[in-house]
Structure formats: structure tokens, C-alpha cells
Amino acid sequence: MKRTAVFFLLIFLLSCSNKYHRFASNYTFRSNDGIPDYANLDYWAANPLKHNTSDSVPASLLENYHRGSSVDIFFIYPTSYTNMKMPFGWNAPIDNSEINAKTDYSSILYQASVFNEAGRIFAPRYRQANLKAYFPVTKEDTANAVAAFDLAYGDIKSAFEYYLQHYNNGRPIIIASHSQGTTHAKRLLKEFFDGKPLQKKLVAAYIVGIFVQPDLLTNIKACETPNQTGCICSWRTFKEGYKPPFVKEEKFTAVVTNPITWSATNPTALRSQNKGSVLFNFNKIYTGVADAKTADGVLWTRKPRFFGNLFYTSKNYHIADYNFYYISIRNNVEERIKEYFKK
């Protein structure tokens, strides 16, 4: 499970920032037993029964915005508990105000919002594993990391079961995730969808930022065309020509989707084909930021173009897997939904 520290460098740097502290006072709920209660809306980062940051729409898109209501999106967010000193142990507490604020004003705002025109978004809070769980050093670390991921997945499973029982009502589902969220989404797809009756309700899965083995699932395959349904889209974004050591160590070629062409037979797209990115200013759509080329289990782009990119020296664009291709993903979700309802 050991991975190079470069993998989450940008996310780790974010953990040193206090920019989410000003929102923390909005998160005053406290659990009696430390376990999320999914009957309580406080334990959903996104839920259509309450206003939340996934409802946000970039200003330039508002004029033509129409929220869909025929599909549900179950979104599993990435690691917000990035302090590798692990002040709370291997798993985040469910009601820590600063971690919850960071979750809502980072991944829920900048990633989950991609799906808000497609349908209802459900994103459960969960006792996420600390970032260090991806970098165990000793056997004891490895055992603790496995236990931490199991605990986190247990919350996701409970939330999904609650969602199915109380919210779904037979509606089609999109599974979406990033980073640690994808670690759990892979298990969720295997347990609830692959070869199960629920597979018929799967519009698509956008499980991004962590490797997806080509043989992970028996009955659910990688998407090969832009309008294919019941399939998986996945990618990990790096600077063109760069493959980090942990990718080179993989014994398989991971699933990789081009998030501009969405086609297995068209692996390369120019910057001009990218319909728009969302970067630090959520309300501004940036064009021509990133191109896309699939390459042996990863996605490559030339150095992104935006004001200040001179100081953006990382070759690992993990943190921007969704944001570089924000409008393209948004459009593709709509395309797959339309195709799903034709069947």
C-alpha cells in the first residue's frame, strides 16, 4: 500500500491552510456515540432535502441551468483528514467542524457540483481514513490502515443502504467519487451492483483519482463510448510524459478514460476541445486549460494554462482530476442519462 508522497502533495499542502476555518462555526452538530446517523441530515454533506455546496453553479452557467430530477448521484468525497500527525487517530471523527467545513467547501463544492444539473446528489459524511493510511511504513501501520479503510467503508455502506431504503424509490443511480472516495466506490460497486439486480439501475460510474483494475468487476466494464451506460469511467491526471513510481509498480494497466473524447478509440484531445475548467474561482469557467491523452493506465496533459501557472510545478494533477474537465464531465453525464432513458 505504500505510495510516493508526491501522490497527495497538493492535498497535503491544503491541510496546512486555515481557509476553511471561517466556515467551521456552521458545523455544531455532535454525535452521541461517534457514529453517523443517516436519518439526520447533518450527516450528509449533500442531500436534496437541504441546501448545500453541491447546489452551487458557476455564474456563467446559471442562465441555462435546469436541474434534473430523474437520476440520483451517490458521491463519495476524497480525503479531508489530511493531517498526517493524525490528531484523531487513523479515522476522522464524524462531527469535527473543521474537517466537515473543509469537505463541503472543497470537494463537495468543486467536484460534487459537477453533477447538480443531472439529478439529486447524495454525499454521506463518513469516518474517513487519514491520508497516512495510503503510506504505511510498518506491518502495524498496514494493519491499522486496512482497519481504517474498513471502518470508513462501513459508514459508506450504511449510508448507501439508508439511501436505498429511504430515498431511491427505484431511480437510476450514478456512482461518483474521487481519491479515497474511489477506494470505497470500488467496493460499493462490487458489493451492490456487479451481477446484482441493482446493476440495471446504474447509469454510469465516474470513479476517479485512484487506480481501477481492469478485472475489478465481472459484469461492469469500462466505458468505451461517450453515451455508453452501465459502465465505469476512471482517470488519474499527470503531466505529459510523467509516470510516478507507484504507477510503474502496478502489475496491471488501470482503466483510463479520456474525459474530453470519452472514446476508447480516440485517446487524444486538444486544449481547444476542452469546454471548460473550474479552478480557484468557482464562478469562472476557464477555457483551454488542459488537453487530454490516455497513456497506459493514466491520463496525460501538457502543463495546464492559467494565470500563475509559472508557479505550478507539480507533475501530479490529482487534485484537479475533476476540475480540469469540469464542463466536459457535466455534459457527458447528461449524454449518458439521455441514452439510459432510451432503453
Tens of pLDDT, residue by residue over 87-118, are 999 999 999 999 999 999 999 999 999 999 99
Q: Where are the domains of the chain?
A: 5-342
Predicted pLDDT of residue 186: 98
Cβ-contact 88, 151 below 8 angstroms: no
Q: How confident is the model at residue 18 (pLDDT cuts 50, 70, 90)?
A: low
Judged against a pLDDT cut of 70, whether residue 1 lies above it is answered with no
Q: Which residues pair with 202 in a beta bridge?
A: 173
> Interior CA angle at 16 toward 15 and 22, to 5°?
85
pLDDT: which is higher, 311 or 36:
36
Q: Nearest 10 degrees: CA dihedral of 315, 210, 206, 35?
A: -130
Predicted pLDDT of residue 19: 80
For residues 25 and 194, give the distance between their C-alpha atoms in angstroms, rounded to a whole number: 41
Model confidence pTM above 0.75: yes
Predicted pLDDT of residue 307: 77
Mean pLDDT of 234-263: 97
**Number of Cβ within a 10 Å radius of residue 179:** 24
